[in-house]
Amino acid sequence: MPVVTPEPDLKQLEPKVRVENLNFWYGATQALHGITMDIPARQVTALIGPSGCGKSTFLRTLNRMNDLIDETRLEGKVLIHEEDIYADRVDVVALRKRVGMVFQKSNPFPKTIFDNVAYGPRIHGVRNQEKLAEIVERSLIRAALWDEVKDRLHISALELSGGQQQRLCIARALAVDPEILLMDEPASALDPRSTARIEDLIGELRRLYTIIIVTHNMQQASRVSNVTAFFYEGRLVEYGPTKRIFTQPRKKQTEDYITGRFG
Amino acid sequence: MMSRRIVEKAVYWLMRGTTYCLVLVIAYIVIDIVYHGFPAISWTFLTGMPRRSGAEGGIFPAIVGTLCLVLGTIAVALPLGIASAIYLSEYARAGRFTRMVRSAIVTLAGVPSIVFGLFGLGLFVLFLNFGASILSGSLTLACMILPTIIVASEEALQTVPKSLREGSLALGATKWETIYKNVLPYAIPGILTGSILGIGRAAGETAPILLTVAAFYLPRLPHSIFDQVMALPYHLYVLATQHPEVDKVRPMQYGTALVLLVIVLGVNLIAIILRNRFRKRCRW
Ligand SMILES: Nc1ncnc2c1ncn2[C@@H]1O[C@H](COP(=O)(O)OP(=O)(O)O)[C@@H](O)[C@H]1O
Ligand SMILES: [Mg+2]
- The greatest distance separating any two alpha carbons of chain B, rounded to the nearest whole angstrom, comes to 74
The atom of ligand 1 lying closest to the CA of A50 is: 22
B172/A contact by beta carbon, under 8 A? yes
The pLDDT tens digits of the residues spanning A223-246 come to 999 999 999 999 999 999 999 999
The response to whether residue A51 sits with its C-beta less than 6 Å from ligand 1 reads: yes
A93/B contact by beta carbon, under 8 A? yes
The alpha-helical segments, DSSP class H, found in chain B are 2-37, 43-47, 60-86, 96-110, 113-120, 134-158, 162-170, 175-182, 184-204, 207-210, 232-237, 250-281
DSSP string, B140-162: HHHHHHHHHHHHHHHHHHHTS-H
pLDDT at residue B279 in the model: 67
- Any idea where the domains of chain B sit in the sequence? 41-281
pLDDT at residue A247 in the model: 92
Q: Is it the case that residue A3 has pLDDT exceeding 60?
A: no
Measured between alpha carbons, how far is residue B245 from residues A117, B203, B234, B253 in Å?
70, 26, 17, 12
pLDDT at residue A259 in the model: 87
What residues of chain B lie within 8 A of the CB of A66, using their CB? Answer: none
Closest CA to A4 of A253, A240, A258, A243: A240
Which one of B161, B166, B171 has the shortest CB-CB distance to A123? Answer: B171
To test the contact with chain A by mutation, choose from B90, B171, B174 the residue with the greatest count of A C-beta atoms within 10 A, namely B171
A103/B contact by beta carbon, under 8 A? yes
pLDDT > 70 fraction of chain A, expressed in percent and rounded: 96
Closest C-alpha to ligand 1, atom 25: A52
The pLDDT tens digits of the residues spanning B167-177 come to 999 999 999 99
What residues of chain B lie within 8 A of the CB of A94, using their CB? Answer: 172
Which ligand is closest in space to the CA of residue A29?
1
What average pLDDT does range A21-43 have in this prediction? 96
Closest CA to A78 of A26, A42, A37: A37
To test the contact with chain B by mutation, choose from A123, A156, A179 the residue with the greatest count of B C-beta atoms within 10 A, namely A123
pLDDT at residue A58 in the model: 97
pLDDT at residue A1 in the model: 39
User: Which CATH number describes the domain made up of B41-281?
Assistant: 1.10.3720.10
H or E element in which residue A193 lies: helix A192-205
The pLDDT tens digits of the residues spanning B255-264 come to 999 999 999 9
Q: Is it the case that residue A2 has pLDDT exceeding 90?
A: no
Q: Hey, which of A56, A57, A66, A217 would you mutate to test ligand 1's pocket, going by the most ligand atoms within 8 Å of its Cβ?
A: A57
Helices (H) and strands (E) in chain A, counts: 11, 10
What average pLDDT does range B155-163 have in this prediction? 94
pLDDT at residue A210 in the model: 96
The pLDDT tens digits of the residues spanning A147-160 come to 999 999 999 999 99
Q: Is it the case that residue A204 has pLDDT exceeding 60?
A: yes
Label residue B283 by pLDDT band (50, 70, 90).
Answer: low
pLDDT at residue B246 in the model: 81
pLDDT at residue A255 in the model: 92
* Distance in angstroms (rounded) separating the CA atoms of residues B249 and B238: 11
Q: Is it the case that residue A106 has pLDDT exceeding 90?
A: yes
pLDDT at residue B111 in the model: 93
Closest C-alpha to ligand 1, atom 24: A52
What average pLDDT does range A47-53 have in this prediction? 94
Closest CA to A181 of A44, A49, A24: A44
The pLDDT tens digits of the residues spanning B97-154 come to 999 999 999 999 899 999 999 999 999 999 999 999 999 999 999 999 999 999 999 9
* Distance in angstroms (rounded) separating the CA atoms of residues A139 and B2: 71
Label residue B189 by pLDDT band (50, 70, 90).
Answer: confident
Q: Is it the case that residue A205 has pLDDT exceeding 80?
A: yes
What average pLDDT does range A94-118 have in this prediction? 96
Label residue A262 by pLDDT band (50, 70, 90).
Answer: low
Distance of CA B46 to the CA centre of its chain: 22
Which one of B169, B186, B284 has the shortest CB-CB distance to A68? Answer: B169
Which one of A105, A123, A173 has the shortest CB-CB distance to B163? Answer: A105
* Distance in angstroms (rounded) separating the CA atoms of residues B259 and A257: 75
pLDDT at residue A5 in the model: 41
Instruction: Measure A52 CA to ligand 2 centroid, in angstroms.
Output: 7
Q: Going by DSSP bridges, is the β-strand pair A44-48/A210-214 parallel, antiparallel, or unpaired?
A: parallel
Who's near A169: CB < 8 A, 6+ residues apart? A102, A103, A106, A107, A108, B167
* Cβ count near A100 (within 10 Å): 27
Q: Are A61 and A32 in contact (CB under 8 A)?
A: yes
